């Protein structure tokens, strides 16, 4: 008879588990035969001893098989999914999904919520009055057949083992280990049914992966897992040392997405989204020039797709364009001249969370209206007194909050260049 304690010991002592042992452990954990305390001991053993490529593959498959899998075959064409490993100010999905759909490539996407300093696409979409993130599988597929795109919340019946294991890892200091992250993400992507996958692996202060080397290892692991499972996968490693784009906060990020889709966004984020779209389209078998993609992004075609999706999912179109209702807006000015050297993503993500834009714990209620909009980003030149950012809050900012904000805006004399995409792993 297999016993969890023996498998924990085997991993603790640095040995390789068999496919049958991994299958048994995940099945027994999912149906309650293995309790949380044994699974957390196992996760910690993996944290210290790692997993071989074969074990990571088996773990991923065992997780996929722990729940339902979505069959997207009723939607014609190559379905491409996209996933980000998380960050601050990441509104990419809001723009990229309609943009790719505007080229006739169907996108059936399940997104997540934000936690801690990181944001989640579902929360951003829910800042639009009426938007429904819960659709039955049949309605999800019907919508993609009809208008070419849908973004909904992940169904509870998908990858049950990951739901349980992720919650456990979150409170047992076992999140940041590559085999567990790779199997967690890829099991969800495989179960969600897309044929091809684009992974945005963030790196830097605001991301899980703190160094380029770690991000590269995670990317290679996930790309290999995707390929082994017959789902062609590309990973891009992207910078999360500063917030992405200008806005942090749910409503503010929707507004920034709209600005970009009206050709009025910052060039760096616009270019970044076009590059991601080019990769996603290539995965779907369509070669498009960046100029063509930029044209779709800024001439209203992508925006039309976003509007169709919002309407189809019950959202109020007028509310989509509503400005933030935060009652207090505080302007933060540069206190010296030079170039912005750092805007640490983690610090500003946590700052926005304290304004109500994010959750400290899963049950926290969000304030959709609050957050930060940066007028200057890393590499930009500033004069003393120039506007750096606007902070949207419910109450006047305390002196402590103001000091903290300014302390995190690092300005120095040297010019520096910034890249959003650091590496592409295929
Ligand atoms: N995102 C996930 O879905 N899982 C992880 O383990 C880490 C990030």
Break the chain into its structural domains and give their ranges: 4-50, 80-319, 328-412
Residue with tokens 């044994």: 38
Provide CATH code, domain 4-50: 1.20.970.10
Residue 57 has a pLDDT of 98
- pLDDT computed for residue 20 by the predictor: 98
Residue 363's pLDDT band (boundaries 50, 70, 90)?
confident
pLDDT recorded at residue 311 = 98
Q: How far apart are the first and last CA of the chain?
A: 42
* pLDDT of 361: 86
Looking at residues 69-78, what average pLDDT do you find?
A: 96
Pocket probe mutation, ligand 1, options 113, 184, 190, 191, max atoms within 8 Å of Cβ: 184
Using 50, 70 and 90 to split pLDDT, how confident is the model at 415? confident
Is residue 218 in contact with ligand 1, taking CB distance under 6 Å? no
Nearest atom in ligand 1 to 112's CA = 3
Note the pLDDT of residue 417.
84
| Structure tokens given for 334 | 């540069």
Distance of CA 215 to the CA centre of its chain: 15
| Average pLDDT score, the chain | 96
Which pLDDT does position 115 carry in this prediction?
A: 82
Give the mean model confidence (pLDDT) for residues 69-79: 96
CATH of domain 328-412: 3.90.1170.30
- Across 247-327, the runs of DSSP E, i.e. the strands, are 247-248
Catalytic residue among 66, 84, 127, 184: 184
Mutate which of 51, 168, 208 for ligand 1 pocket (most atoms within 8 A of beta carbon): 208
Q: How far are the Cα atoms of 80, 111, 115, 232, 271 from residue 284, in angstroms, in the given order?
A: 6, 20, 31, 10, 20
Percent of the chain whose pLDDT exceeds 70: 100
Which atom of ligand 1 is least distant from the CA of 185? 3
Tokens coding 30: 């999912």
Contacts of 23 (CB under 8 A, 6+ apart): 58, 62, 65
User: By alpha-carbon position, which residue is closest to atom 2 of ligand 1?
Assistant: 185
Residue 360 pLDDT exceeds 90: no
Contact 131, 315 (CB under 8 A): yes
Average the pLDDT over 230-246 and give the result: 97
Q: How far is the CA of 171 from the centre of ligand 1 (A)?
A: 14
Among 20-24, 54-58, 287-291, 421-425, the minimum mean pLDDT is found in 421-425
181 lines ligand 1 (CB under 6 A): yes
Supply the pTM of this predicted model: 0.94
Centre of ligand 1 to C-alpha 341, Å, is: 29
Nearest CA to ligand 1 atom 7: 181
pLDDT number for residue 144: 98
**Each residue of 77-108: b (16+ CB within 10 Å) or e?**
eebbbbbbbbbbbbbbbbbbbbbbbbbebbbb
List, in sequence order, every residue forming a beta bridge with 82; answer none if it has no partner. Answer: 198
* Cα–Cα distance measured from residue 416 to residue 43, given in angstroms and rounded to the nearest whole number: 41
Give the confidence band of 258 by pLDDT, cuts at 50, 70, 90: very high
Of all protein residues, the one whose alpha carbon is nearest to atom 3 of ligand 1 is 185
Q: For residue 235, name the pLDDT band (cuts at 50, 70, 90).
A: very high
Please give the number of the atom of ligand 1 that sits closest to the Cα of 180: 6
3-state secondary structure of 209: strand
The residue whose C-alpha atom lies closest to atom 6 belonging to ligand 1 is 181
Pairing of strands 80-84, 196-203: parallel
| Cα 147 to averaged position of ligand 1 atoms, centre (Å) | 30
Nearest Cα neighbor of 309 from 185, 130, 161, 189 is 130
Q: Is 316 a catalytic residue?
A: no
The CATH code of domain 80-319 reads: 3.40.1030.10
Q: What is the pLDDT of residues 143-184, one digit of tens each?
A: 999 999 999 998 888 999 999 999 899 899 999 899 999 999
85 lines ligand 1 (CB under 6 A): yes
Report in angstroms the alpha-carbon separations of 275 from 78, 200, 270, 317. 19, 12, 9, 28
- Quick one: average pLDDT of 207-220? 95
Per residue in 122-150, pLDDT (tens digit) is 999 999 999 999 999 999 999 999 999 99
């Amino acid at each position: 008879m297999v016993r969890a304690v023996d498998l924990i010991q085997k991993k603790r002592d640095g040995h390789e588990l068999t496919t049958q042992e991994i299958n048994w452990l995940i099945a027994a954990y999912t149906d309650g035969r293995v309790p949380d305390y044994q699974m957390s001991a196992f996760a910690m053993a993996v944290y210290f001893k790692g997993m071989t490529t074969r074990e990571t593959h088996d773990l991923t498959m065992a997780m996929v098989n722990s729940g339902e899998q979505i069959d997207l075959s009723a939607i014609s064409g190559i379905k491409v999914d996209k996933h980000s490993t998380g960050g601050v100010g990441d509104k990419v999905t809001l723009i990229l999904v309609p943009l790719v759909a505007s080229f006739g490539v169907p996108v059936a996407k399940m997104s997540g919520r934000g936690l801690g300093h990181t944001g989640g696409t579902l929360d951003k979409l829910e800042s639009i009055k009426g938007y429904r993130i819960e659709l039955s599988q049949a309605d999800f597929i019907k919508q993609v057949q009809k208008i070419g795109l849908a973004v909904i919340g992940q169904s509870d019946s998908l990858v049950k083992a990951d739901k349980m294991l992720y919650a456990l890892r979150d409170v047992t200091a076992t999140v940041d280990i590559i085999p567990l992250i790779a199997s967690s993400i890829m099991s969800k992507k495989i179960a969600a049914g897309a044929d091809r996958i684009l992974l945005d692996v963030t790196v830097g202060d605001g991301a899980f992966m703190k160094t380029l080397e770690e991000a590269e290892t995670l990317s290679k692991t996930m790309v290999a897992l995707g390929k082994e499972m017959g789902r062609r996968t590309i990973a891009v490693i992207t910078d999360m040392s500063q917030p992405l784009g200008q806005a942090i906060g749910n409503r503010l990020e929707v507004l920034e997405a709209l600005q970009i889709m009206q050709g009025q966004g910052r060039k760096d984020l616009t270019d970044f989204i076009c590059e991601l779209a080019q990769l996603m389209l290539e995965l779907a078998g369509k070669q498009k020039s960046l100029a063509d993609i930029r044209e779709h992004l800024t001439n209203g075609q992508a925006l039309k797709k976003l509007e169709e999706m919002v309407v189809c999912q019950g959202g109020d179109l007028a509310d989509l364009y509503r400005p933030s209702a935060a009652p207090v807006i505080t302007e933060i000015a540069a206190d010296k001249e030079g170039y912005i050297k750092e805007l640490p993503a983690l610090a500003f993500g946590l700052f926005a969370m304290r304004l109500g834009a994010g959750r400290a714990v899963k049950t926290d209620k969000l304030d959709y209206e609050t957050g930060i909009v940066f007028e200057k980003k890393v590499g930009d030149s500033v004069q003393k007194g120039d506007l750096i950012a606007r902070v949207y809050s419910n109450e006047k900012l305390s002196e402590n909050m103001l000091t903290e904000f300014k302390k995190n805006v690092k300005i120095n004399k040297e010019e520096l260049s910034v890249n959003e995409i650091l590496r592409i792993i295929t």
